[in-house]
Amino acid sequence: MNAIILIRHTETDLAGKFCGHSDPDLNAVGQQRLDSLAEEVAPLGITRIFSSDLRRASQTATFIAERLGVPVEYRSGLREIHLGAWEGLSWEEVQQQYPSEAQLWASDFPMRRAPAGEKYRDFVARVEAEFKAVIANHDTATPAVVTHRGVMQYALTRFFGFSEDDARKQTENYGAIVVATPLDVREIDYTGIRA
């Protein structure tokens, strides 16, 4: 199978804050990054784009798709994990407003979710389903997936053989591009999904 191109959306005004299912538009910095991002991925032979349906990802994907002349499909399963009551807050604000929950979350993640947030196992299940479909159905194509850092980190470790540390580093920047070749889907153990 050809490589899959994973792309993190560009910047929003919620940079540095918990922004799971929050739905901000790209900010001016994010808009300016789109031109260079499209130029960087142009030589990679992308034939189709799958994107989170949240605006920051869909705006990034739409720009690239129009520039490359390829179709884009928006998928709610590619959304970032929902962070409930912590959406829009910085970690410092979370620690101030939810001190005991923040401490428990930091020590027990992924077993513990943010208050009113999505369970990690539910997040994993939808990301697994999305990437299994992309990998299984595109043997001769070069798809791109435009999504969020948490989604990319999980997918890179689960489907592409990256270490957690390497996945974290590769996805650190807004507009990050990771070219990855999937492991053989038949050899991936789907029974080990964490809580």
Active site residues: 9, 80
Nearest to 99 by CA among 86, 84, 81: 86
Start-end of H helices in the chain: 28-41, 55-68, 91-97, 99-108, 120-136, 149-159, 164-170
Q: What is the DSSP code string of 78-115?
A: GSPPP-GGGTT--HHHHHHHSHHHHHHHHHHTTTSPPT
Beta bridge partners of 145: 6, 50
* Tokens 């260079």 belong to residue: 36
Dihedral angle over CA of 20, 154, 119, 189, nearest 10: 160
- Specify whether the CB–CB gap between 17 and 51 falls below 8 A: no
CB count within 10 Å of CB 137 equals 9
Which residues, other chains included, contact 108 with Cβ-Cβ below 8 Å and sequence gap of 6+? none
